[in-house]
Amino acid sequence: MRLAHLILAHKNSSQVERLIQALAHEHFDFYIHLDAKADFREFAHLAALPRVRFIRQRHLVRWGSYSIVEATVQGVREILASGIAYDFINLLSGQDYPIKPADSIYRFFAQHIGRSFFAYEAQGSEWWQHAIKRVEEYHTVYYEFRFQYVLQGLLNKLLPKRRFPLPYALYGGTYGTWWTMSRECAEYLVAFLDQNPQVRRFSRLTWGADEFLITTVLLNSPLKDTIVNDSYRYIDWSGGGANPKLLTVADAPALRQSDRLFARKFDTDKDAEILTIIDQSMLTPESQVPA
């Protein structure tokens, strides 16, 4: 089994380096998509680490916009073009961290070749009652121009509700951005978006497409029965708002008890000690992995 970790990074190269070191394994490779806004010189040294590559085509990522999906899909595309026969692509941010040892993570996925792991809710759930506006209304966050939100308001006032360009059921959720997909799903995703430019055009005027678009595409595909509704991520949304809670040393007991493989999000500028605690008490051979 071979796995490619695709890391979306935009800041704090030392924290990204620590993430890579924590996941070091002979069967894991690392591909970093560095936001076009970031200074590459601050991250260039990471290319000297074993099995680390940079995604060549960088995207300027705006929070909440379709550009997150674009950066992700470009990373998937370049991984598939690498010539290496990966069984999985695992999407991480530079602020994620494993909470199980790399070898345990390897063994888990080696036992589930052909499966993909997403966390999602079906259309009609409580989350979708609010999130449906991401699809039905016009959002201009993908762009940056003067008076864009005035225009956005006018479009939503004057035009009818938007509809997804294909007769698909929608799937997504607050855990939907981060996932592990099989090679088969990766190949299907790239081919689908190449063959359906209307989906790309539509998505540029949505909000938060990273939480629903890829999941929706794959759960309406012939591969839907290979998808497990669990991403094995620990993410704490208890604080409310549009961002998950920043994890600190206070969260260490909950992380120790979790059966998840990865957690987010961390910021070593705010609390680096939590990663040290994870290194010393969770990333050991004795740590258990879910069945």
Q: What is the pLDDT along the chain (291 residues), one digit of tens a residue?
A: 999 999 999 999 999 999 999 999 999 999 999 999 999 999 999 999 999 999 999 999 999 999 999 999 999 999 999 999 999 999 999 999 999 999 999 999 999 999 999 999 999 999 999 999 999 999 999 999 999 999 999 999 999 999 999 999 999 999 999 999 999 999 999 999 999 999 999 999 999 999 999 999 999 999 999 999 999 999 999 877 778 999 999 999 999 999 999 999 999 999 999 999 999 999 986 655 555
Beta-strand pair 121-122/171-172: antiparallel
Q: Where are the domains of the chain?
A: 3-281
Measured between alpha carbons, how far apart are the two ends of the chain, in Å?
17
| pLDDT of amino acid 284 | 80
The 3-state DSSP class for residue 218 equals helix
* Residue recorded with tokens 């030392």: 14
Spatial separation of the C-alpha atoms in residues 98 and 53, rounded to whole Å: 20
CB 45 within 8 A of CB 21: no
Spatial separation of the C-alpha atoms in residues 165 and 199, rounded to whole Å: 6
Spatial separation of the C-alpha atoms in residues 182 and 109, rounded to whole Å: 10
Q: Is residue 278 packed enough to be buried (19+ CB in 10 Å), middle (13-18) or exposed (0-12)?
A: buried
pTM, two decimal places: 0.95
| pLDDT of amino acid 286 | 61
Helix, strand, coil share (%) of the chain residues, nearest 5: 40, 15, 45
Supply the CATH classification number for the domain 3-281.
3.90.550
Spatial separation of the C-alpha atoms in residues 67 and 5, rounded to whole Å: 19
Spatial separation of the C-alpha atoms in residues 159 and 231, rounded to whole Å: 37
Beta-strand pair 180-182/88-93: antiparallel
Q: What Cα–Cα distance (Å) separates residue 278 from each residue in 1, 89, 185, 234, 248?
A: 26, 24, 31, 13, 11
Q: Which residues make beta-bridge pairs with 166?
A: none
CB 248 within 8 A of CB 276: no
- Residue in 203, 222, 7 with CA at minimum distance from that of residue 98: 7
CB 108 within 8 A of CB 44: no
